[in-house]
């Protein structure tokens, strides 16, 4: 994708988690437009899911809120999402959304979300930045707090 300096730049902070894996899970994102200092926080939950699914959902939900093609710095503690974007996605697509396991091609987990993310990545210029989870990173900690709060309704 060609980089266009006229595109708006935003930061997307994401996190997802579960109580048990699988179990009740939540996702959250903070979308920040540094030039205007505007921020948007959103979160959601599912009654029975996985940590990886929630991490991925946070990124998809964050990117799909963008109404204009943008430069996006994605800041997440999810190695699953980061490796998926930077290493695995091209191979999965080339193999018909399958991955190799014991010399056989098997369906990838969370295929629909990965397909959604692939479409969104084609619309934006996304740069992945890994942040350490639970390390005092304010936005990552806030996303974790929002995600946990979102799935609390399923623990009652």
Domains of the chain, first to last: 9-154 (3.30.420.10)
**Is 28 exposed, middle or buried, given 0-12, 13-18 or 19+ CB atoms closer than 10 A?**
buried
pLDDT in tens, 44-56: 999 999 999 999 9
Spatial neighbors of 95 by CB under 8 A, at least 6 apart, are: 105
pLDDT in tens, 69-118: 999 999 999 999 999 999 999 999 999 999 999 999 999 999 999 999 99
Nearest to 134 by CA among 80, 82, 81, 77: 77
| Residue the block writes with tokens 């190695």 | 79
Enzyme catalytic residues: 15-16, 55, 77, 134, 144
Q: Name the β-bridge partners of 129.
A: 75
């Amino acid at each position: 994708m060609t980089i266009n300096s006229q595109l708006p730049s935003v930061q997307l902070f994401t996190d997802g988690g579960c109580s048990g894996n699988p179990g009740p899970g939540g996702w959250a994102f903070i979308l920040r437009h540094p030039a205007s200092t505007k921020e948007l926080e959103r979160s959601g939950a599912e009654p029975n899911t996985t940590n990886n699914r929630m991490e991925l959902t946070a990124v998809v939900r964050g990117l799909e809120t963008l109404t204009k093609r943008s430069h996006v710095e994605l800041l997440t503690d999810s190695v699953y999402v980061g490796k998926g974007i930077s290493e695995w996605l091209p191979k999965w697509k080339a193999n018909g959304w399958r991955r190799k396991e014991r010399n056989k091609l098997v369906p990838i987990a969370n295929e629909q979300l990965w397909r959604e993310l692939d479409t969104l990545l084609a619309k934006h210029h996304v740069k992945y930045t890994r942040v350490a989870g639970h390390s005092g990173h304010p936005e990552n900690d806030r996303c974790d707090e929002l995600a946990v709060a979102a799935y609390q309704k399923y623990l009652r």
